[in-house]
Amino acid sequence: MSNEELESQLSAMFDDELPGSQCELLARRLARDEQLRARWGRYAAISACIRGEQGVRLETALAAKVSAAVRQEAVPAAVPPPGVAGRNFFNPWVTSLGGIATAAAVAAVAILWMRSEGPAMVARNTQVATPVVRALAVQAAPDATVADTGAANAVPVAATASRKSREPDSYVVPAQASQGPALLAPTELANYIVAHSEFSGPLMGRNALSALVAGESAVPQVTAQPIPATVVPGK
Amino acid sequence: MTADASDLSLVQRVQRGDKGAFDVLVLKYQHKVVKLVMRYVRNPAEAEDIAQDAFIKAYRALPQFRGDSAFYTWLYRIAINTAKNAVVARDRNPVDFDLDMTNNDESYEMQGRLKDSETPEALVLTDEIRTTVNAAIANLPDDLRTAIVLRELEGLSYEEIAATMDCPVGTVRSRIFRAREAIDTRLREVFEGGLGRAEEIG
């Protein structure tokens, strides 16, 4: 590169009009080349003169003092390049993902807690919950089969045990569901979901969360079961 | 092209430990910072001391500079705060300039600097520099003079100057460079001694 081209670049860099890549190369040279740096200093003095600033001097006493003081300073600690440091923490994507992860963790804890604590709680509240569930089931499916099935799963354990032998197996109740109050909560939830799904979508559309809440081991086992014709009213 | 790319490249070099790059920034902004500090203190020597403190503070704080704003904006805030603090400190602890009352070396030194910066010779030199620069500008061809004045006085970008002068941006860059070179050559002819000291830095 010729001297004139270099000096032309220096002039453009002084005006912040040099492309970034060329700036980096020239900055490296400028930091080492005293002649070039002196020229840079004169450009600054000329600029100050044209703008009519007071006290412009060509000698660089202030710059020399600062330079001497800086030579005695420790090198500033290395930091990541501008645009990187300290921004990830506030990155909207990171913040959003963090929020989603937190929400998912809270939901998982709540589900696990429900599965472990739910049966005992439901055993205590069965008498209160039963009429509501039964009403829901009857309202949702006036056909006798569905209403009986829903009601059978919602009535107290004692009544269920006595009627169990003459009622058909529920398609949503696992075989051991009638063996004790421990599985009442999943049963109630499952029946509610089935009743609700008549209006919101087919049984095949149950999602993994429903299966998890209902305490079933795997979704395919549930969805593979045939849907009784009596589930949907009018069919 | 990024705005302020030249300052940013120099700042990044300083952050990587290149102290020479900081000298370049000081050379570029020393006049602006002194002028800024002069709004708070009337004494030129005191203003230079405060400007020096401001630059050293900026150097120490440079690892925290992330490029969110222009370097000069950041430096400007440091200089303003340093000047305000200096004025408050001075008002709380006024300096006794009575040389008969103390043998403190610092007082002698400060007194000497104050006298030196306010000498008629210094004022004459400043005027002479301005006269030389103005004469050099007056002798420039019209296109060079217009380009350098639009840049330095009006603060237009090369693109804006190109639009104003109806010429390519490359031509503007060349005209401004040639104008600076002509003025610089004239200054060197007149003030060889003063200019020689500029090269001692580093």
Q: 3-class secondary structure for chain A?
A: CCHHHHHHHHHHHHCCCCCHHHHHHHHHHHCCCHHHHHHHHHHHHHHHHHCCCCCCCCCCHHHHHHHHHHHCCCCCCCCCCCCCCCCHHHCHHHHHHHHHHHHHHHHHHHHHHHHHHHHHHHHHHHHHHHHHHHHHHHHHCCCHHHHHHHHHHHCCHHHHHHHHHHCCCCCCCCHHHHHCHHHHHHHHHHHHHHHHHHHHCCHHHCCHHHHHHHCCCCHHHHHCCCCCCCCCCCC
Nearest CA in chain A to B197: A59
**Closest Cα partner for B137 from B190, B183, B187, B185?**
B183
* N-to-C CA span, chain B: 29
Record the tokens describing residue B194, joined without a space: 């003063």
From the list A183, A182, A184, A172, the residue with the least C-alpha distance to A146 is A172
Which of B18, B126, B173 is closest, CB to CB, to A56?
A: B126
Cβ contact B80:B36 at 8 Å = yes
Note whether B124 contacts A: Cβ–Cβ < 8 A: no
Whole-angstrom distance, CA of residue B198 vs CA of residue B167: 35
Give residue-wise pLDDT tens across range B167-193: 999 999 999 999 999 999 998 888 775
Confidence (pLDDT) at B181: 95
3 state DSSP class of B18: coil
The whole-number average pLDDT for the span B100-125 is 53
Question: Cβ of B99 under 8 Å from any chain A Cβ?
Answer: no
Chains A, B: CB pairs < 8 Å: 238
Confidence of residue B198 (pLDDT cuts 50, 70, 90): very low
pLDDT for res B121: 67
Q: Is the pLDDT of residue A81 over 80?
A: no
- Binned at pLDDT 50, 70 and 90, residue B30 comes out as very high
The per-residue pLDDT for B73 is: 92
Residue scoring higher pLDDT (B122 or A126): B122
User: Mean of the pLDDT values across residues B16-44?
Assistant: 91
* Residue A67 or A155, more confident: A67
The length of chain B is 202
- pLDDT confidence tier of residue B44, bands split at 50, 70 and 90: confident
Interface test with A, best of B30, B131, B150 (most A CBs within 10 A): B30
Q: Does residue B164 surpass a pLDDT of 90?
A: yes
Query: Band of the pLDDT at A125, cuts 50, 70, 90?
Result: low
Q: Which of A14, A26, A57, A87 to mutate to test the interface with B (most CBs of B within 10 A)?
A: A57
Residue linked to tokens 């840049």: B151
In angstroms, the CA A178 to CA A153 distance is 8
Could you count the other beta carbons within 10 Å of the beta carbon of residue B18?
Answer: 18
Q: How far apart are CA A229 and CA A235, in angstroms?
A: 6
Q: What is the pLDDT of residues B73-92, one digit of tens each?
A: 999 999 999 999 999 988 87
Nearest-CB residue to B151 (from A15, A45, A60): A15
Range ranked top by mean pLDDT from A72-76, A89-93, A210-214, B151-155: B151-155
Closest CA to A213 of A233, A190, A196: A190
Angle at A61 between CA B19 and CA B196, to 5 degrees: 90
The enclosing H or E element of B91 equals: helix B71-92
Q: Chain B within 8 Å of A124 (Cβ-Cβ)?
A: no
Q: Which range (A94-98, A185-189, A229-233, B140-144) has the least confidence?
A: A229-233
More confident residue, B6 or A115: B6
pLDDT band at A99 (very low <50, low <70, confident <90, very high): confident
Q: What is the pLDDT of residue A190?
A: 72
Closest CA to A46 of B88, B53, B188: B188
pLDDT at B127 over 60: yes
* pLDDT for A119: 61
Interface predicted TM-score (ipTM): 0.80
- For residue B3, the 8-state DSSP code is T
Cα separation of the two ends of chain A: 88
Please check whether residue A20 touches B, CB under 8 A.
Answer: yes
- Structure token pair of residue B55: 């630059």
Mean pLDDT of B113-140: 75
Find out whether B79 and B37 touch, Cβ atoms under 8 Å: yes
Task: Determine the average pLDDT of the residues in B33-38.
Answer: 91
Residue B12 and residue B6: Cα distance in Å, rounded? Answer: 10
* pLDDT reading at A207 higher than 80: no
Residue A206: the pLDDT is 54
| Position A173 pLDDT exceeds 60 | no
